[in-house]
């Protein structure tokens, strides 16, 4: 595990492939439908971030690969935005990869499970690689980012910033571990990891989570009011705090 990052205890550390296979095994039922909607909601925001970062860096990719593509929600959102003509995805969990293939995403050529270490693609195969909410799940993110830089000319990296007092609360840290986070990053931390992987930051984007995210699981009027207050407070605090980076290989 990379030193100098905020470490999080998680059951994902022992056997990541099995952990994520269990997470995507809910193929039907109310719980599966709820989490599919949750992932789709997150994917819309992530796709907006990718599009904004690419535009800010003056990039118009023809080919894009998502490393750690999960069930394909982000690939579908990127396709809907026309971010790239051709899309590929690689994922640790075959269960998730199968869900992604079943989506019928326009422009999607291949989605495959892989070993989490070596992306099965040649050097420079893609214009852009996307790792969105992935590197916080990886025991040592540097080799994975180097691998992304091997297969793509540009790399988009998005992480949650959890190395702060709010996210360090026991309940928050336990929830992060439950969903497989192994690291808590701040802005300097993710920049250092990118630099160690030989990537150079070209553009950054800060964007606090929207109300619909905070309110997604709010079942009562009080919970919805709390979500609205949290949204307003975080939007004010994050207004001038870049937290997501587009990196290019040096």
Evaluate if residue 243 carries a pLDDT over 50: no
Report which listed range, 71-75, 178-182, 205-209, is most confident.
71-75
Region 6-206+243-249: CATH code: 3.40.50.150
Look up residue 24 and give its two tokens: 């995507």
Is the CB of residue 157 less than 8 Å from the CB of residue 244? yes
Q: Is the pLDDT of residue 250 over 80?
A: no
Instruction: Tell me what pLDDT residue 153 has.
Output: 98
End-to-end CA distance of the chain: 24
Using one digit for the tens of pLDDT, what is the confidence trace for 25-60? Answer: 755 667 777 777 778 888 999 999 999 999 999 999
pLDDT above 50 for 18: yes
Our measurement of the distance from residue 36's CA atom to the centroid of its chain's CA atoms, rounded to an integer in Å, reads 15
- Is pLDDT larger for residue 34 or for residue 236? 34
Backbone angles phi, psi at 29, to 5 degrees: 95, 170
DSSP letters along 155-218, please? EEEE--B--STTTTSHHHHHHHHHTT--EEB-HHHHHHHHHHTTEEEEEEE--PPPHHHHTTT-
pLDDT above 50 (res 244): no
Rounded to 5°, the CA angle 168-182-91 comes to 135
Question: Average pLDDT, whole number, for the chain?
Answer: 85
More confident: 225 or 115? 115
Predicted pLDDT at 227: 61
Which residues have CB under 8 Å from 172's CB, separation 6+? 162, 166
The reported pLDDT for the residue numbered 210 is 66
Rounded CA gap, 184 and 190, in Å? 9
pLDDT single digits (tens) 140-185? 999 999 999 999 999 999 998 888 777 777 887 887 788 888 998 9
């Amino acid at each position: 595990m990379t030193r100098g990052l905020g470490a999080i205890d998680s059951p994902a550390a022992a056997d990541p492939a099995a952990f994520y296979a269990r997470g995507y095994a809910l193929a039907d039922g109310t719980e599966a439908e709820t989490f599919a909607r949750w992932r789709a909601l997150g994917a819309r925001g992530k796709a907006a971030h990718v599009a904004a970062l690419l535009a800010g860096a003056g990039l118009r990719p023809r080919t894009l690969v998502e490393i750690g593509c999960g069930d394909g929600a982000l690939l579908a959102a990127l396709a809907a935005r026309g971010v790239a003509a051709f899309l590929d995805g690689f994922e640790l969990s075959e269960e998730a990869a199968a869900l992604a293939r079943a989506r019928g995403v326009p422009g999607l050529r291949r989605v495959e499970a892989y070993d989490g270490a070596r992306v099965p693609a040649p050097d420079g195969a893609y214009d852009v690689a996307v790792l969105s909410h992935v590197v916080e799940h990886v025991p040592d993110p540097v080799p994975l980012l180097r691998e992304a830089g091997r297969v793509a000319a540009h790399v988009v990296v998005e992480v949650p910033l959890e190395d702060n007092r709010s996210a360090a609360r026991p309940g928050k840290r336990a929830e992060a571990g439950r969903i497989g986070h192994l690291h808590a990053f701040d802005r300097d931390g993710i920049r250092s990891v990118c630099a160690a992987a030989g990537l150079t930051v070209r553009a950054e984007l800060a964007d606090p989570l929207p109300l619909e995210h905070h309110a997604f699981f709010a079942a009562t009027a009080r919970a919805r009011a709390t979500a609205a207050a949290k949204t307003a407070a975080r939007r004010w605090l994050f207004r001038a705090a870049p937290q997501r980076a587009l990196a290019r290989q040096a």
